[in-house]
Amino acid sequence: MPRWGMAADLDRCNGCGACVVACHAENNISTVGPEEAARGRAKHWLRVERYWEGDFPDVRVTFRPVLCQHCDNAPCEPVCPTYASHHTEEGLNAQVYNRCIGTRYCANACPYNARFFDFFNPSWDKPLHLQLNPDVSLRMVGVVEKCTFCVQRINGAQVQAKAEGRGVRDGEIQPACAQSCPSRALVFGDLDDPESQASRLSRSPRGSHLLEDTGSRPKVAYLARQA
Amino acid sequence: MDRRSFIKLTAVTGTSAALASCGVPENQLIRFVPDEDIVPGVAVWKPGVCPLCAAGCGLTVRVMDADADVARNGQLGVVRIAAAKKLEGAPNHPVNRGGLCARGQAAIQVTYHPDRITQPLKRAGERGDGRYEAISWDDALADVVSRLDGLEEAGNQRALAFLSRGGASHRAVLIEQFLARFGAPPPAVYELFGDEVLRRANATSFGREQLPTIDLANAMFVLSFGADFLGTWNSPVAQAAAYGVMRQGRPGIRGGFVQVESRMSQTGASADEWVPARPGTEGVLALGLAHVIMAAALRPASAAGRAGALVDGWSDGLRSYTPEQVEKITGVAAARVVRLARQFAEMRPSVAVVAGPPLAHTNGLFTAVAVNALNALVGSIEQPGGVFFTPQVDLAAALKMSGRAAGAPAPPFRLQREGADDPHIGDAQVLLVDGANPVFTAPRVWGVDQALAKVPYIVSFGSFLDEMAVLADLILPDHSFLEAWREAVPESGATVAVASVAPPVMRPLYQTRSTPDVLLEVGRRLRRPLNLPWQTFDQMLAAAFAALPSASPDADAWTDAQAKGAWSGPVPPGLGRAASLPAPPAARPIAFEEPRFDGDAGQFPFHFLPYPSSAFLDGSLAHLPWLQEMPDPLTSAMWSSWVEINPAAAERLGIGQGDVLEIASAHGSIRAAAVLTPGIAPDMVAMPVGQGHRTFTRYASGRGANPVEALAPMTEPATGALAWAATRVRVSRVGPPDGRLVLFAGGMREHVEEHR
C-alpha cells in the first residue's frame, strides 16, 4: 500500500505560478472574480507564498508552494462531524463533497490554510465549461474543497497498471502541479518506497516539514534554499 | 425496454420534433452525429504549439468528448465534439521538455473564451464604439480584395501596411511573401518588450542577430543584469528547467546566481545576491568587472576578441572603469565590484545575461555590448555553461522562396514619427493587423490611435475586440491555436535548430478561418493574383518540412514532425540562416554615455519602471480569467494594478499599503494602489504592464491602469526601440485604500519583518 507524499525543492522553485494555474485547469477550480476575491474567497488549492527578509538593499525572498500537506495526523479530520474529511488507506486527506455539510471546522483546524469553502455554486461563462475535466467532480455551494494530490490521476495510473499486471512505477503519477513545474521543484511519489525519488528527496538533510510542531505529521517535505 | 430501443425511440422522437418545427431537418440532427470518431470518456493526446509568446513551447493536449453549442452551416445546434481539456508541456520537446508556464496552462481559455469573435464582422458604428454587424466570409473577402485591387489600380501598392508582432515563423514568411509579391513594404513589427537592442548588440559583438540560449544547466555562476529569465523573458520554461538543474540537478554542485537590477523581479527574488545598481549604469558595472579581471591578469584583454575590441578603452584594460569609479557611477561598492569580478572569473563556467530594464534606456546598446564583452572575456561564448545561439533554419530558403527583388527594400511603416523618410503608419491606405495591439502597448504620446484614425481601411485578424480590433473596419477572426495548423521556429531555448508544428487539435467552434489560409485565398482572388505556390497553409508547411532531414529512420521529416510536434536537428547545408553577419563598419568604439531620462529630477523625483507582468506579459493575456486570478508571485495581487514603492520613500510621502497613488510624468498620469516592498530602490516606482484595457473582453475591460500611457517617447538611438525605463515621474497620494487592490495573501502574515 503506497503512502503518497511530495518533496518541494525551494532551491529550484522560483515562484513562477505554473503549478497554481495547472491546478485550476486540472481540478475544475472556478474563478470567483475580483469582488469575491477581495473578500478572501479566491480558491487556490495550491498557492505560492513568499517570505521577505531584510530591507533595501539587502533583500532576500524565498518562495514556498503551499498545498494540502496530506498530514498523517491531520487536524482537519477528527473535527469533521460527518466524516467528509477523512484519511484514505493510501494516506490522502480526502474530502467527500457529498458528505460535507459546510461546518468549515476542517478549514479552521487546518494550520496551512489549505481548505477552501465554496460560497457559491461554481459557474463558467460558456463555453469555458468545455474545458472542464470530466474526471473531477464539481463542488456545489456550501462545501469545503481542497487539494487531492490529483487523486483522479493516481486512480487512473493504478487502474492502468493493474490492467497491465504490474505495479505503479515511480514517477508514473504526476499531479498537475508537478507535471507543469518548469524547474522540476515538485516531486510526487510513494514515501513508503525508500527508492522513490520523492522518498529520497524527503530524507534530504535540507528537508523539513511545514509547522511540524503542530504534530500534524505532514507529508510534503520542503528542501531548503541553500546559500 | 432495453437500452438500444430506448435510444432509437428518443432519436425518432427528436427527429419528428425537428421535422415538425423546421424545414431543414438535417441541420437539427447534428446532435446525433458525432463530429468524429471519439470514445466517450477516453482521453487521447495530441501535439500542439503554445501561441502565447515567441518561445514556441511544445504542448500535448488532452482531448476528450464534450457537448458543445456550435454553428454549422449557419445553424445552431449541440454536437458532441472532441474538445481540448488540458494543456501539458510536451515531454520530449527540445525547448520546454515537459514543463509549461502559468500562461501556457491558461492558453486553453483563449479557445473557450466567451467573448471570442465567432464570425467575420463589418463595422456598423463609429470607429472604436464596438458596434459591428455580421458579414459572410465571401462578402468579407470580396471587400478586402476590392480594396487591394483598388490600390493596385492606382499604382499605390506601397500604401498597404501590415502590422504584426514579428519573430521567425512560417506564418511570417507567408506574410512577407504576400507583401513582397503585392509590392508593399515588409510588415511593421511592434513589440513593447521587444529585444531589438539585444539582437543588435549580439549582431555587433558576435555577428548573430538573435537572442541567446543560456546554458544555465552547466553553469557554475550566473550573473544576470536585469534579465527576468525565470519569469517573462526569452524562453522562460527552457531557462527555468535549466535553472533547476543548475541549482540542484548535479550531485554536490550548486551554481551561484547574482542578479543586478534596481527593482526585484521574480527572477531576482531567487538570486543568492541581489545587487541594485543605478538605472542605466549596469553596463558600467559589467565593464568594471572586466577591468578587475584584466587588471588582475585573470584573463587577457585579447581573449574577448571582436566583442571586446568594440568597447572604448578595452585594449588598455578599461582604465577609466576602476572599482572606485564604478562605485561612483553605479552605486555598487568598490569592494563588491572586485569580489563579483573574482567570482565571475574563477567560478567557471560562468555566464552573464542581460535583458529587460537595463536595455530599455537610451544607452541600452552600450550596456548590452558591455555585457557581451564581459562574457567573451571569460570565454563563455558557445562553450558549455555559456551563451549559445540556436542555429536557425532559413525558412524562405527551405521553401525555395527568393527574397525581395534586388535594390533597397521599401522601409516598413513606423509607429512613431521619427526618421524623416520612413512612411508612418498613418499614411497607409489599407492596414492589415495580425496580433499586435499598439494602441495599448505604445506610449500615448506617439499618437498611434490618432494616426490609425486617418487610415481609410483597417482589417484585423483578431479573435477579441481589443483596443486595436475595435478600430478595424473589418474583422476576419483567426482560428484559435487549437483549431488550426500551428507552428513556431524558436529563436532560442535549445542548442539545436527547432521547428515546432502541430495539426489542428479540434474542429473549429465557430465560423472563423485560419489567417494564413485567408491570406492565400486573398492572394488568389486579386485581379493580379500573387501566385503563391500553395493552396493552404499546411501545404506550405509540408513543403518547408520536406526540405529538412528526417529525425527518424521510419518516416519523412514532415510525418515525423507532425507526430512529435517538432522537428529538431542539425541544419542541412544551404538552409542555415547566415551564421555570421559581416563585421559592422568600423564605427567609433562604443563608450558609456550617461542615460538620458525624460523629466527633470527635481520635478519628477522617481524613476518609473513599467515591467512585463508575470500573468499578462505586455497585456495581451489580460483577458484570461485564470491569469487574472493567479496571485502575482511577488505581491499576491489578483485582478489589480499596483505601484511598487520602497517603504522608506512611502513613509516620507505619507503613503501606506493600498493607498491610491497618482503617478504623473510629463506626458500623462495614472492611478493605482500602492504596494510597499523592500525590493525596489527608494528613488524608483514600478508598475506591471497588462491591466488598464479600455476594451478587451469582460474580464479585462476597465480594470486597473496602463502604465504605458505615462511613458515618454524616449528611444535607444541605434535601434529606435522604445526606452521604456527612461521616464521620470512624481508620486502623490490621492486617497486611502479603496478596494481596488486585491491581495490573496491579504489575511496571512507572510512578512518575516512587518513594515509599517
Q: Are residues B335 and B473 in the same domain?
A: no
- CATH code at position B262: 3.40.228.10
Domain final position from B569, B588, B616: B569
Specify the pLDDT at position B416.
84
Which of A32-46, B307-321, B519-533, B582-596 has the weakest average pLDDT? B582-596
pLDDT tops 90 at residue B12: no
Q: A165 and chain B: CB distance < 8 Å anywhere?
A: no
Per-residue model confidence as pLDDT tens digits over B543-570:
999 999 988 888 899 999 999 999 999 9
Domain final position from B522, B552, B569: B569
Question: Least CB-CB distance to B633: which of A22, A53, A63?
Answer: A63
Higher pLDDT, B658 or B407: B658
Please choose, from the candidates B484, B474, B472, the residue with its C-alpha nearest in 3D space to the C-alpha of residue B514: B484
What residues in B contact A38, CB-CB < 8 Å?
A: 739, 742
Higher pLDDT, B39 or B311: B311
Per-residue model confidence as pLDDT tens digits over B508-543:
999 999 999 999 999 999 999 999 999 999 999 999
Burial class (CB in 10 A: 0-12, 13-18, 19+), B93: buried
- Residue count of chain B, please give it: 756
Residue B82 lies in a domain: no
The C-alpha cell of A109 is what? 483546524
What residues in A contact B66, CB-CB < 8 Å?
A: 130, 132
Specify the pLDDT at position B363.
97
Q: Are residues B367 and B434 in the same domain?
A: no
Specify the pLDDT at position B471.
97
- CATH code at position B152: 3.40.50.740
pLDDT tops 50 at residue B406: no
Which alpha helices (H) appear in chain A, and where do they start and end? 18-27, 33-38, 105-109, 151-163, 176-180, 197-202
Domain count, chain B: 4
What percent of chain B has a predicted confidence (pLDDT) above 70? 90
Higher pLDDT, B159 or B25: B159
Residue B25 lies in a domain: yes
Specify the pLDDT at position B750.
44
Q: Please judge whether B631 and A47 are an interchain contact, meaning their C-beta atoms are less than 8 angstroms apart.
A: yes
| Mean pLDDT, rounded, for B485-494 | 95
pLDDT tops 80 at residue B181: yes
| Orientation of helix B515-525 relative to helix B537-546, angle to 10° | 100
pLDDT tops 60 at residue B482: yes
Q: Are residues B410 and B463 in the same domain?
A: yes
The C-alpha cell of B717 is what? 538611438
Q: Which domain, by its residues, includes B350?
A: 196-388
Specify the pLDDT at position A65.
97
Write the DSSP string, A21-55: HHHHHHHTPPP-HHHHHHTT----SSEEEEEEES-
- Residue count of chain A, please give it: 227
Residue B531 lies in a domain: yes
Which SS3 state, helix, strand or coil, does residue B470 take? Answer: helix
Specify the pLDDT at position B457.
98
Q: Are residues B269 and B341 in the same domain?
A: yes
| Mean pLDDT, rounded, for A115-133 | 96
Residue B175 lies in a domain: yes
* pLDDT band at B158; cut points 50, 70, 90: very high
Q: Are residues B181 and B200 in the same domain?
A: no
Domain final position from B319, B354, B388: B388
CB-based burial, B676-691: b 16+ in 10 Å, e otherwise: bbbbbbbebbbbbbbb
For residues B268 and B356, what is the distance between their CA atoms, to the nearest angstrom? 12
- CATH code at position B631: 2.40.40.20
Q: Please judge whether A183 and B99 are an interchain contact, meaning their C-beta atoms are less than 8 angstroms apart.
A: yes
Cis check for the bond before B276: say yes or no (omega within 30 of 0): no
Per-residue model confidence as pLDDT tens digits over B359-372:
999 999 999 999 99
Q: Please judge whether B248 and A180 are an interchain contact, meaning their C-beta atoms are less than 8 angstroms apart.
A: no
What residues in A contact B747, CB-CB < 8 Å?
A: 40
Q: Are residues B361 and B422 in the same domain?
A: no
pLDDT tops 60 at residue B696: yes
pLDDT tops 50 at residue B430: yes
Q: Is the CB of residue B543 less than 8 Å from the CB of residue B532? A: no
Specify the pLDDT at position B347.
96
What chain A holds in terms of domains, given with CATH numbers, is: 4-223 (3.30.70.20)
Q: Are residues B368 and B424 in the same domain?
A: no
* pLDDT band at B398; cut points 50, 70, 90: confident
Q: Are residues B320 and B241 in the same domain?
A: yes
| Mean pLDDT, rounded, for B78-85 | 90
Per-residue model confidence as pLDDT tens digits over B598-643:
999 999 999 999 999 999 999 999 999 999 999 999 999 999 999 9
Rg of chain A in Å (alpha carbons): 18
| Mean pLDDT, rounded, for A193-214 | 96
The C-alpha cell of B268 is what? 531576482
Q: Is the CB of residue B536 less than 8 Å from the CB of residue B542? A: no
| Orientation of helix B364-377 relative to helix B196-206, angle to 10° | 40
Higher pLDDT, B587 or A134: A134
Q: Are residues B172 and B214 in the same domain?
A: no
Q: Are residues B204 and B336 in the same domain?
A: yes
Q: Please judge whether B682 and A113 are an interchain contact, meaning their C-beta atoms are less than 8 angstroms apart.
A: no
CB-based burial, A90-103: b 16+ in 10 Å, e otherwise: bbbbbbeeeebeeb
Distance from CA of B681 to the nearest CA of A (A): 7
Q: Are residues B534 and B419 in the same domain?
A: yes
For residues B301 and B337, what is the distance between their CA atoms, to the nearest angstrom? 18
Which SS3 state, helix, strand or coil, does residue B292 take? Answer: helix
pLDDT tops 90 at residue B26: no
Question: Least CB-CB distance to A16: which of B113, B266, B748?
Answer: B266
Q: Please judge whether B679 and A113 are an interchain contact, meaning their C-beta atoms are less than 8 angstroms apart.
A: no
pLDDT tops 80 at residue B578: no
Per-residue model confidence as pLDDT tens digits over B248-260:
999 999 999 999 9
Q: Are residues B451 and B314 in the same domain?
A: no
